[in-house]
Amino acid sequence: MRHEPGCCGRCGAGLAGRPVTGVDRHQVSGLEPVRTEVTGHQLIERQCGCGHRTKGAAPPGAEAPVQYGPRTAAIIVYLHAGQFLTKQRTALALGELSGIPCSSGTVAALTARAAGRLDAFPEHVRGQIAASEVAGSGETGFRAEGRLAWVHCARTGRYTLLMARPRRGRQAIEAMGILPRFAGVAVHDAWAPYDTYTAPGHQPCCAHALRELQAATDAAPQGQWCRATQAAEALTRMQQLISEAISQGRHAADPAALAAQVRLLRSAALTGAAQTAARCGPLMKKHNALARRLPGRQDDYLRFTTDFRAPPDNDLASHCTSWVRSAVPGFSRWSGRVAGVVLSIACGTDIFRQRAAEVGVVAAS
């Protein structure tokens, strides 16, 4: 839309036909008025000369006398399962936003129908993650039905699989069905059960290591040099070197600069291991374990410096487990009885958006 000035702002003269000296552009984003579209289907019945009557068949999606179309059903499923609204609030939101009446029973029925049509999808997601080059794995605790349960996650940039289990450990990892057949790079928090799988390459999460190093730094006497600070700075600098190499299109970081940081990391860890060798008390034992783990698994921790496919951290999975914790009330509603058959959620997308609407339409229609 064009908006012309009426007259000169100084002398008041008319501006019709005068030269245009500039155009400021303003944009307003909005939605078209929501309009419900009702499509009628008439099933014609005709009588044959033999006396038999035959009625036309309803097209898919119009089998019942009155029902919701696929996009309306997808919105209902999305609000209830994707945004964790209760059945009542989902029905209320649909009615107020679109004018389409809906009941909580309809919300439950449509959600159950969508879930039934996705029975084979979790296995598809499981296969896609298992066949990927890099996958992140993680786990976190949450409460369901008054008891502690564990949510395990396996994720790539496109696929996400979440599974709630009553306990964590190798049995839960086996139930996920990813690592037993995975041959890519497994990114995780260095939890011992992950390391029992030898087929994949391992990239322990550097972000977890940095948090452990920060805890060791915080426990050191004030004003005293701490080997953990040197190790953390070296690990951070290596990540910067790799990030710079990738952004510049290089296939490797500066070898001399990288080697210098590796020496700093290794010397700090070895010094820390010697200083905490007495392992007196739980805190010193924890610091000693970290100091021994860093040089002992140096090739794994620094895999990201030679294999640019491997990210240095496990944000892929950590974000998902954090999402579960933030959505505990809704997730608990879907968890069923975690002591029995437990929940798994599969997403053919990044769980935080991308293509959710398309997936919802397919599931609901």
Residues 71, 72, 78, 81, CA torsion sign: negative
Q: Which residue has the higher pLDDT, 276 or 82?
A: 276
Q: Does 175 lie in the same domain as 152?
A: yes
Number of structural domains, the chain?
Answer: 2
Q: What is the pLDDT of residue 142?
A: 77
| Residue 179 located in a structural domain | yes
Task: Identify whether 197 is part of a domain.
Answer: yes
- The reported pTM is 0.71
* Average predicted confidence (pLDDT) for the chain: 85
How far apart are alpha carbons 45 and 39 in whole angstroms?
19
> What digits encode the pLDDT tens for the residues 194-242?
999 999 999 999 999 999 999 999 988 887 778 999 999 999 999 999 9
8 Å CB contact between 178 and 189: no
pLDDT (tens digit per residue) in 100-145: 999 999 999 998 888 888 778 888 889 999 999 999 998 888 777 7
Residue 13 lies in a domain: no
Q: Is the distance from CB of 211 to CB of 232 less than 8 angstroms?
A: no
Name the residue range of residue 155's domain.
130-202+314-352
Q: Are 114 and 77 in contact (CB under 8 A)?
A: yes
Assigned domain for 158 exists: yes
Calculate mean pLDDT across residues 293-318. Answer: 92
Give domain status of residue 79, yes or no.
no
Within a domain: residue 347?
yes
- Which pair of structure tokens corresponds to residue 323? 């999402």
Mean pLDDT score, 264-279:
93
pLDDT over threshold 70, residue 362:
no
How far is the C-alpha of 324 from the C-alpha of 139, rounded, in Å?
10
Q: Is residue 32 part of a domain?
A: no
One domain, residues 224 and 196: no
Domain co-membership, 197 together with 156: yes
- Listed in sequence order, the residues at least 6 apart from 110 whose beta carbon sits closer than 8 Å to its beta carbon are 68, 73, 76, 77, 364
